[in-house]
Amino acid sequence: MKVDAVDLFYLSAPSAGENGAPGQDTLLVRVRAGSYEGWGEGTASPLTAIAGSLAANPIVGEPLDTLDDIARIGSIVRSGSIDPGQANHLLSGIDTALWDLMGKRFEQPVYRLLGYPKAYPKMPYVSVRFGNTGVETIATAKQARQDGFRAVKFGRGPFGKSGPKEDQEQLVAAREGLGKDGILLVDAGAVWGEDVPRAIKALRSLRLTDVLWLEDPLTFGSLSAYAAVAEQAGHLRLASGAQCPTVQMAQSLMDYGRIGYAQIDVGRIGGISSAKRVIDLAIERKVTAVNHPANSHLAFSASLQCYAGLPEHRLCGYPVGTSPVVRDLTVEPLRPEGEEGLIYPPDAPGHGMAPNLTTMRAHLVNLEIVREGRTLYRTPEL
Amino acid sequence: MKVDAVDLFYLSAPSAGENGAPGQDTLLVRVRAGSYEGWGEGTASPLTAIAGSLAANPIVGEPLDTLDDIARIGSIVRSGSIDPGQANHLLSGIDTALWDLMGKRFEQPVYRLLGYPKAYPKMPYVSVRFGNTGVETIATAKQARQDGFRAVKFGRGPFGKSGPKEDQEQLVAAREGLGKDGILLVDAGAVWGEDVPRAIKALRSLRLTDVLWLEDPLTFGSLSAYAAVAEQAGHLRLASGAQCPTVQMAQSLMDYGRIGYAQIDVGRIGGISSAKRVIDLAIERKVTAVNHPANSHLAFSASLQCYAGLPEHRLCGYPVGTSPVVRDLTVEPLRPEGEEGLIYPPDAPGHGMAPNLTTMRAHLVNLEIVREGRTLYRTPEL
């Protein structure tokens, strides 16, 4: 079998998402080989990834017979770029599509191809915004519980922008709304920049309200600053990694930034192959792996495959927002199931998510890139 | 004064460079404000940066009166992107153009705006390829000396691909051709991947031949692996950083990767503002700063401004290759001067390099990006 076609699609939904939804643009990748088709999704700017693909080494015609061929194709893409992060950005969708395709070829879920004998359910967390007032935050937390989410990640809004007193009010409100048995996560969105003392001042109320993780208190990648905060954090753990452009960077966050939760964006770091490498490194370091909420349920399932076999790594970020690009890109979404509202990775070949071509076509962006009168890219047929 | 226009130009020269020349594509940025014009250059894929600019926060109309406005405009570009590396990629050319413009506005070289009272000359190194045989390598080294370069960086070719014995032959040849007083640098181009023991095995012959720095022995950003090699390297220092997408990453290479030379690509890390931050961090850590060879003499001069006032940080990478995009993008190149063949940062406003519009126009790529029938980008008038 050879790679017959690699097609990139830019999808965009006009309406903005709600409650901390990720971007409403997304990049879909379709790979065809033999009689098989695989789908992948990338997180960051589709136009930039498409532009990047025009300078990348071609992979059409490459043999695709064994799982090792996926890594080999990844090396081809990477070796053609002077910028590892940019190559991984493009590769994320391609690599995921290749795993999906090989899962169909071997009639196995991707998690099994990755060596996990079985998949365990994950507990989904939903991402919401802090309210402008404590009363609003209580209501948001209660709503999330009513929607069936025991774990809730609060972020943005006024948090971190005033002082420890105001932040404490917000955190107490979030805890009140969630109840004692709720799992409370906080995403600080680098609000304290490089100001380590301010971040440390916030720790007390985060611990008092039993926050499980504090995500990105500081500028992403400031390793020594993260370590300084982690040292003062006690049982509260730091989370980071969604912006990691490379496996090496994710490793550094664990080794030197002393994070306790490694967040992995399968659509950013280079796809399933790279995500699995980060997870293996996390296990060695007793760091807990967790996916980063994907745009759609296609990337969501892909992200779950990577750590489906690890019951102790139990949380997962659930895609939020009502945009069709989030909700309806697949024929079925992955819904919380049972009394506990858990997510079960699909027991189906590949990542198990069938693309919804109707939604895709409705949100497909017609794009053309022309160089000296010659068309380098034109949106392919879907 | 306000930013009136920001224009991005994709330049490309057809012929490949020689002797390890960087890519022959380059991104030029022109910023206009009031009656002033500034020019900047970015290193990585122009098409990707142009695509990235279409999703970026607009900066036209932003006030530009003080030097602080440059940092503020940088924050605007960064805050519009979920990918810090991608934002810095685009920002590199813009930030450099803003410094050039403000230098013209205040009639000062950029280095003086950065706080250096005077500029010191730098010793240029030229980048060449290891020969296929030792005899070829000797000849290459001799030629570089004849061309006036006392410092020469060897890379690529067979180096690191066979074994320590073959590498030693190459290094002995390079040293023989350079002479005892030559400065020998080696760029391993990550040839040993993640194989720390193989990299350590190579150290002996690098020390025997008095190599000043070993650049990127391993996969970029593998901090603990770099540190493990640095620990065994004795007086030989590691160099890395050209691929750094962020200041934070450069800091990590120093703090945890234990590099002795911080290589800074002003066209990649976010322009002059970011490069200066890395240099300040390097000084604090007793790490030596050095520019990474730029595409053209425009970015070359910009890179020198950032550490022009630091006489102890004496080496600089000299742009190589005979492509017009490298050689003729400016009216005059910066040539080695005097008996020692040193480079003097221009004593002229801004970065001091006047663009050669004739060359630029000859190599300008006509590009058009069309979304749903609407032109998002069309190559501007030059």
- Please write the tens of the pLDDT for every residue from B55-106: 889 999 999 999 999 999 999 999 888 788 889 999 999 999 999 999 999 9
Max CA-CA distance within chain A? Answer: 64
pLDDT tens-digit readout, A151-185: 999 999 999 999 999 999 999 999 999 999 999 99
- Using a CB–CB cutoff of 8 Å, tell me whether B363 touches chain A: no
Report the C-alpha gap between B185 and B288 in whole angstroms: 14
Nearest CA in chain B to A371: B367
Measured between CB atoms, which of B45, B54, B89 is closest to A55?
B45
- Tell me what the mean pLDDT of segment A242-266 comes to: 97
CB-based contact, A372 to chain B, within 8 Å = yes
Q: What dihedral do alpha carbons A90, A95, A96, A101 form, nearest 10°? A: 130
pLDDT at residue B55, as a whole number? 84
Q: For residue range B180-212, what is the model confidence (pLDDT) as tens digits?
A: 999 999 999 999 999 999 999 999 999 999 999
Q: Is the dihedral of CA A86, A92, A94, A99 positive or negative?
A: positive
Q: How far is B66 from chain A (nearest CA, A)?
A: 23
Q: What is the mean pLDDT of residues A216-221?
A: 96
Nearest chain A residue to B75 by CA distance is: A193
What does each C-alpha distance from A290 to A16, A149, A274, B220 come to in angstroms?
26, 16, 14, 25
pLDDT tens for A3-44 read 999 999 999 987 554 444 444 789 999 999 999 999 999 987
**Is A246 part of the contact surface with chain B (CB cutoff 8 Å)?**
yes
CA distance A222 to chain B (A): 5
Q: What is the pLDDT of residue A45?
A: 86
State how far residue B226 is from chain A, nearest Cα, in angstroms: 11
Maximum Cα–Cα distance for chain B, whole Å? 64
Q: Cβ of A223 under 8 Å from any chain B Cβ?
A: yes
Are residues A221 and B248, on separate chains, in Cβ contact within 8 Å? yes
A363: pLDDT confidence band, cut at 50, 70 and 90? very high
Q: Is the dihedral of CA A276, B246, A78, A55 positive or negative?
A: positive
Interchain CB contact of A240 with B (< 8 Å) = no
Whether A164 has its CB under 8 Å from any CB of chain B: the answer is no
Rg over CA atoms, chain A: 20
Tokens 């440390």 found at: A200
**Residue A285 host element (H or E):** none
B224: chain A residues, CB-CB within 8 Å: 251, 255
Average pLDDT over residues A319-338: 88
Residues A77-88: b if buried by 16+ CB within 10 A, e if exposed: bbeebbbbbbbb
Top residue of A43, A47, A54, A251 to mutate, by most chain B CBs within 10 Å, is: A47
Q: Say yes or no for a CB contact (<8 Å) between B365 and A371.
A: yes
Q: Which stretches of chain B drop beneath a pLDDT of 70?
A: 15-23
Tell me, yes or no, if B362 comes closer than 8 A to chain A by beta carbon: no
Chain A residue with Cα closest to B194: A248
Mean pLDDT estimate for chain A: 94
Shortest distance between the Cα of A337 and any Cα of chain B, in A, equals: 32
Q: Report the pLDDT value the prediction gives residue B15, as an integer from 0 to 100.
A: 57
Residues of A with CB below 8 A from B221's CB?
A: 84, 246, 248-249, 252
Backbone angles phi, psi at B263, to 5 degrees: -90, 130
CA distance A83 to chain B (A): 6
CB contact under 8 A, A367 and B370: yes
Q: Does B14 touch chain A (CB under 8 A)?
A: no
State how far the Cα of A80 lies from the Cα of B336, in Å rounded to an integer.
33
Strand partners, A262: A240, A289
- Choose among B219, B366, B371: nearest Cβ to A248: B219
**E-strand spans in chain A?**
3-12, 25-33, 36-42, 123-129, 151-155, 183-187, 211-215, 237-240, 261-264, 288-291, 315-317, 367-371, 374-378
| Residue A224 forms contact with B (CB below 8 Å) | yes
User: What's the average model confidence in pLDDT over A310-324?
Assistant: 91
pLDDT of residue B21: 43
Contact list, B223 vs chain A (CB under 8 Å): 248, 251-252, 255-256
* A191, closest residue in chain B (CA to CA): B79
CB-nearest partner of B83 from A44, A221, A223: A44
Any residues with CB less than 8 A from the CB of B75 and at least 6 apart, and which?
A: none
B265-to-A8, B76, B152, B246 alpha-carbon distances in Å: 31, 21, 18, 11
SS (HEC) of chain B: CEEEEEEEEEEECCCCCCCCCCCCEEEEEEEEECCEEEEEEECCCHHHHHHHHHHCCCCCCCECCCCHHHHHHHHHHHHCCCCHHHHHHHHHHHHHHHHHHHHHHHCCEHHHHCCCCCCCCEEEEEEEECCCCHHHHHHHHHHHHHCCCCEEEEECCCCCCCCHHHHHHHHHHHHHHHCCCCEEEEECCCCCCCCHHHHHHCHHHHHHCCEEEEECCCCCCCHHHHHHHHHCCCCCEEEECCCCCCHHHHHHHHHCCCCCEEEECCCCCCCHHHHHHHHHHHHHCCCEEEECCCCCHHHHHHHHHCCCCCCCCCEEECCCCCCHHHHCCECCCCCCECCCCEECCCCCCECCCCECHHHHHHCECCEEEEECCEEEEECCCC
CB proximity B268 to A under 8 Å: yes
Instruction: Say yes or no for a CB contact (<8 Å) between B86 and A84.
Output: no
Residue of A nearest to B25 (CA): A55
Closest CA to B364 of B319, B329, B320: B329
Structure tokens, A117? 């004998």
User: For residue A257, what is the nearest residue in chain B, using CA coordinates?
Assistant: B252
pLDDT at A17: 45
- Taking an 8 Å cut-off on Cβ atoms, the answer to whether A86 and B82 are in contact is no
**CB distance from A38 to chain B under 8 Å?**
no
Q: Tell me how many degrees the CA angle B114-B91-B303 measures, rounded to the nearest 5.
A: 45
CA–CA gap between residue A376 and residue A372 (Å, rounded)? 10
**Neighbouring C-beta atoms of residue A164, cutoff 10 Å:** 16
Instruction: Determine the distance in angstroms separating the CA of A197 from the nearest CA of chain B, rounded to an integer.
Output: 18
Inform me whether the C-beta atom of residue A44 falls under 8 Å from chain B C-beta atoms. yes
Q: Are B85 and A86 in contact (CB < 8 Å)?
A: yes
The SS3 call for residue A306 is coil
Determine the pLDDT at residue A43: 87
C-alpha–C-alpha distance, residues A13 and A16, integer Å: 8
CA gap B331, B342 in Å, rounded: 20
Mutation site for B-interface testing, chosen from A45, A194, A255 by largest number of B Cβ within 10 Å: A45
Contact assignment for A222 to B251 by CB distance below 8 Å: yes
Closest CB to B44: pick one of A82, A219, A243.
A82
> Contacts of residue B372 in chain A, CB cutoff 8 Å?
365-366
